Structure 1
Amino acid sequence: MVPSTPELYELHFGVAMAGGVLSTLNPSLDIITLSTILEELMPKCIFLDHQNIEPVVEILNHLNDKLVKTPLLVLVSISSTCASTLPNSLYYNEILDMGRFDDFEPIMPYNECDPILVTYTSGSTGHPKGVAYSHRAAYLNALGEILRSDLREQSKVVFLWTADLFRANGWGFTWAIAALGGTNVFLSNTNDGNVLYSISLYKVTHLSGHPSILSTIVEENHRNASEYVLPHKVYAHVAGVMPPCDTINKVENMGFEVVHRYGMTEILGPPVINKLWNNNCAKALNSNVNIMDHLMEEFDVKDPNTMKSVPCDGKTLGEVMFKGNALMMGYLKAPTMTKKVFKGGWFHTGDLAVRHQDGRLQLKDRVIDAIVSKGESISSLEIEAVLLTHPKVLQAAVVAMPVDHDSNNDEVPCAFLKLKIGFDASEGEIIQYCSEKLPIQMIPKVVVFGNLAISSTGKVQKFILRELAKSLNNQPASLHDFNS
């Protein structure tokens, strides 16, 4: 439970060399979720920042009768003065001082398929799932990252950590940068206006993270007295919903090359790459040019029932699936769930997509988020994209609302919106806006205003919104306001 720091980076090597299994957790997890995860992991040692001492101690006291042995607490933050008052605790540097380089021998795994890591999903579909990585998969994924990111093209790779190390353990960059003898640069906070400064100071060549980092860079540049231009090209690898093209163009005009990626925790990060070619943002975002390294054996869109590939007609929906060496071992202590997602020898992502004639993949929705209307699937993502173009809308999430007394189990779109500060809007205004831009079956039938249900990892919890949509089904529009 440590932020992205040099110490956490070192633990990715040290724990494995000591024969242990590392689990990187989001330091912002709520106490209930954290308690469930720690009970599942049964850790022997917990590395934590001083900000997490109080909740961890409270949880351990609660789990005392369930733990075989109370874990050792290791305080990584040098600003903490609490170690002396905590039982069974040490400072990180004290542990390092105990070791001797001249008599240390790394403990090799008995089998290359033994676990090296357990990382957790974001919990956007429910409780976060523990995802186990093997030594083999982690090693191959690191090699794959070198290939897919063209890291060998640089004489010296300098990587700026604007991504969280607890998210799929750094996408493979953690070990890839070390394998190349590169340099890692860590920031205490990317919102402190020091991203561009750090890039110039340390001659950064690559960074990765959520697409919001692009907006952060634009805002930081806006605060400068003059327009900033990078002294060299910097590759910005981002995965998630992209910001408006205007933001991307501003970043690329500064000297960045934006690389859009697709993946998830279970496939060790985002192995699929969509380069924004020729600085044509709008064309690139719609084209979804897919590039993968050879370590992922296969990547396809299939009918999950027949396991046959869908036709490349740009219309037929299928599920995105992967097969290869760089996949998770399975979900921790969940063999039934693991068997289900690997049905037919392929990993089922739960993402819906279509294939175009030239082989391009275009994501449409999550399987559980798609809205079924009159037998056809409606993409919630496409509706959200239109809602986010409304000048008053800050955040949008669309879920299925069941149609009452419908024998066909039909569903209609229900939109949850958070408006920008200082703005007001009515349900009728939003529906009218959508009616001018969407087919009739995609127009939200209900619009709810308020804060969205957000997890501790910053993702919208649509499973909560779906339950709320069911409860709102029979309410008049005047009651469609909430706070969560």
Structure 2
Amino acid sequence: MTDQNPYNVGLDKNPANFVPLSPLGFLERAASVFPDRISVIHDQRRFTWRQTYDRCRRLASALAQRGVGVGDTVAVMAPNIPAAFEATFGVPMLGAVLCALNIRLDAEAIAFMLEHGGAKVLLTDREFSPVITKALSLLKAPPLVIDINDPDTASGTLIGVCDYETFLSSGDPAYVWRWPTDEWEAIALNYTSGTTGNPKGVVYHHRGAYINALGNAVTWGMSGHPVYLWTLPMFHCNGWCFPWTITALAGTHVCLRRIEGRAIFAAIETHKVTHMCGAPIVMGMLTNTPEKERRPLPHEVAFMTAAAPPPAAVIERLEGQGFRITHVYGLTEVYGPVTVCAWHDEWNDLPQEERARKKARQGVRYVNQEAVMIADPLSLEPVPQDGNTMGEVFFRGNVVMKGYFKNPVATAEAFSGGWFHTGDLGVWHPDGYIELKDRSKDIIISGGENISTIEVESVLYQHPAVAEAAVVARPDERWGETPCAFIGLKEGAAPVTEDEIIAFTRTKLAHYKCPRTIIFTALPKTSTGKVQKYVLREMAKKMIA
């Protein structure tokens, strides 16, 4: 049967009217329209967009010469430096997939990601050579290692076949890079912490990266020539897609290797920073920076924050310093932020404390995300928008991951019912704004990092004096949340102190995952013996006072 719709006759897709969406074109456009504008600043180094484009093509060419091709994985272990940014474009330019590793993880976690992701090449900063050396020793088939010999670090050793700049010099700056044949092709692999077992690999496609990059610009009202300070780790959801966003606007990326209050204020003043992102820990860092280390802001600075809901008091203090806070929410599985606490002008007349409470909500969906709802996790029936009824947060749209790498069961579970199940619990307010209240998976978000309570508990149970353990989030003004462990000791066990327990966990876990607080007590349980974590959470919250 022929199509009777006249708008479908003789109006087919062709190369002239349909091109797969990809953020790679942002770089080519920036280099052609603003070739001499500064693209990247790192300490004393400056690159123009023409130079950055050449360097990214050199990287793609050098990788191709080493046998990297379509569908291969290239891992990067680096802080916010030019090499990490260049990999965001250079790796997918030849159809490969970028896997940015969390620089705070231990060797065992890194080894799992390298092996599970099938990394063919690893670009690694010299500072992390000890953990990378140990990780590589755990692999049967280690990837080719290229050292990033950043002059801003004096620690570590060179462990690769050559350094990054030498590697680039072997590449062709005129390399004819590859546009994806299908916008559904993978562009990045990001590992996220789970509540049990190994982390899951979240796969992004070119289409989603393109759409969320522009969604950031629209949501934040970005225009002109933004100067963006990298206080958000580039390894977090590919920097929430901001490597692509700022490039689309031909803005300037200001790299910051170490995220410290004094360095942030100095960079803002020196480079006239207009935008920056970060978890509540960065907000606390700014409010707690000693007066002698602060610099006056040259203008109002836009600050986007996510992760654990920021305390209203912190928002209030930071805005008093001249920052304009935008609160967003998202997950690795949705390319970073996809909801925003969209501001209403009439809220400007509210008392400052009430304005801060409004800004602490997670808000409404990005313009480029098709749907968000709070619903019953089993029936998927939306909960009443009364600000009180709890439900799970669900997303649907074009900025949802392809799925979990090599994990069809977890992928099917996450997408059951035609929605992405976040596992986060919240309420829906009468004005349609969502607000997180809890996490059904018991994940703790500390300084923007996901921490599995079950992983921490499993280590605590390894201590010879520990009979039972439960870990919950304790609110923290600096970190957003920190792990708080409630421990019951074995009868007759030798005395043990809080410091000894913390020191023990530090021998088993990355330090940011270790409990900051230990409470020795009998754990409250239900009649069936299940630990009542909600009781422990309330106890942890009361400790703040």
TM category, shorter = 0.7 to 0.9
Distance 1:55 1:189, change over 3 A: closer
What is the rounded CA distance, in whole Å, between the counterparts of 1:85 and 1:162 in structure 2? 26
Residue of structure 2 in register with 1:253 after alignment: 320
Q: What is the CA-CA distance between 1:322 and the residue it aligns to?
A: 0.4
Distance 1:461 1:131, change over 3 A: farther
Q: Which runs of 5+ in 2 are unaligned?
A: 1-76, 446-452, 458-469, 478-496, 532-538, 540-545
2:304 to 220, 237, 243: 237
Q: Residues 436-451 of structure 1: matches in 2 within 5 Å?
A: none
Indicate conservation of the 8 Å contact 1:126/1:461, yes or no: no
Residue of structure 2 in register with 1:184 after alignment: 253
Residue of structure 2 in register with 1:345 after alignment: 418
What is the rounded CA distance, in whole Å, between the counterparts of 1:352 and 1:130 in structure 2? 23
Distance 1:57 1:346, change over 3 A: same
Q: What is the CA-CA distance between 1:284 and the residue it aligns to?
A: 3.7
What letter corresponds to residue 140 of structure 1 in structure 2?
I
Indicate conservation of the 8 Å contact 2:219/2:367, yes or no: no
Does 1:57 pair with 2:133?
A: yes
**Which digits, 9 at most, give the CA deviation of each residue in 1:177-198, with x for residues without a partner?**
0010000101121226121111
1:300 to 373, 383, 391: 373
Residue of structure 2 in register with 1:28 after alignment: 104
Q: What is the CA-CA distance between 1:343 and the residue it aligns to?
A: 0.6
Indicate conservation of the 8 Å contact 2:121/2:144, yes or no: yes
Residue of structure 1 in register with 2:211 after alignment: 140
Residue of structure 1 in register with 2:149 after alignment: 77
Distance 1:206 1:27, change over 3 A: same
What is the rounded CA distance, in whole Å, between the counterparts of 1:26 and 1:415 in structure 2? 22
Which segment is superposed worse, 305-314 or 240-249? 240-249
Residue of structure 1 in register with 2:62 after alignment: none
Indicate conservation of the 8 Å contact 2:364/2:434, yes or no: no
Indicate conservation of the 8 Å contact 2:376/2:392, yes or no: yes
Distance 1:461 1:307, change over 3 A: farther
TM-score, normalization by structure 1: 0.73
**Which digits, 9 at most, give the CA deviation of each residue in 1:382-428, with x for residues without a partner?**
xxxxxxxxxxxxxxx99xx9xxxxxxxxxxx98787999xxxxxxxx
Residue of structure 1 in register with 2:441 after alignment: 368
1:110 to 181, 187, 196: 181
Q: Which runs of 5+ in 1 are unaligned?
A: 371-379, 382-396, 402-412, 421-447, 474-479
What letter corresponds to residue 273 of structure 2 in structure 1?
V
What is the rounded CA distance, in whole Å, between the counterparts of 1:124 and 1:192 in structure 2? 32
Indicate conservation of the 8 Å contact 1:245/1:281, yes or no: no
Counterpart secondary structure, 2:102: coil
Does 1:290 pair with 2:363?
A: yes
Residue of structure 2 in register with 1:15 after alignment: 91
What is the rounded CA distance, in whole Å, between the counterparts of 1:16 and 1:133 in structure 2? 12
Instruction: Give the number of aligned pairs.
Output: 398
Counterpart secondary structure, 2:377: coil
Distance 1:259 1:416, change over 3 A: closer
2:227 to 158, 166, 169: 158
Q: What is the CA-CA distance between 1:350 and the residue it aligns to?
A: 0.3
**Which digits, 9 at most, give the CA deviation of each residue in 1:351-375, with x for residues without a partner?**
11122222222211112349xxxxx
**Which digits, 9 at most, give the CA deviation of each residue in 1:205-259, with x for residues without a partner?**
00001111112112225234xx854221111111123554443323212211011
What letter corresponds to residue 30 of structure 1 in structure 2?
D
Distance 1:158 1:84, change over 3 A: closer
Counterpart secondary structure, 1:351: strand
What is the rounded CA distance, in whole Å, between the counterparts of 2:475 and 2:367 in structure 1? 42
Q: What is the CA-CA distance between 1:261 and the residue it aligns to?
A: 1.4
Q: Percent identity?
A: 34
1:89 to 161, 165, 170: 161
**Which digits, 9 at most, give the CA deviation of each residue in 1:110-150, with x for residues without a partner?**
32101110011145665322111011111111111111111
Let me know the Cα RMSD of the aligned residues. 3.7
Counterpart secondary structure, 2:260: helix
Distance 1:199 1:30, change over 3 A: same
Residue of structure 1 in register with 2:274 after alignment: 205
Indicate conservation of the 8 Å contact 2:280/2:306, yes or no: yes
1:319 to 392, 403, 408: 392
Residue of structure 1 in register with 2:448 after alignment: none
TM-score, normalization by structure 2: 0.65
What is the rounded CA distance, in whole Å, between the counterparts of 1:90 and 1:310 in structure 2? 57
Indicate conservation of the 8 Å contact 2:415/2:421, yes or no: yes
Residue of structure 1 in register with 2:114 after alignment: 38
Does 1:268 pair with 2:335?
A: yes
What letter corresponds to residue 253 of structure 1 in structure 2?
G
What letter corresponds to residue 26 of structure 1 in structure 2?
N
Distance 1:461 1:304, change over 3 A: farther
Residue of structure 2 in register with 1:331 after alignment: 404
Does 1:101 pair with 2:173?
A: yes
Indicate conservation of the 8 Å contact 1:123/1:129, yes or no: yes
What is the rounded CA distance, in whole Å, between the counterparts of 1:289 and 1:416 in structure 2? 19
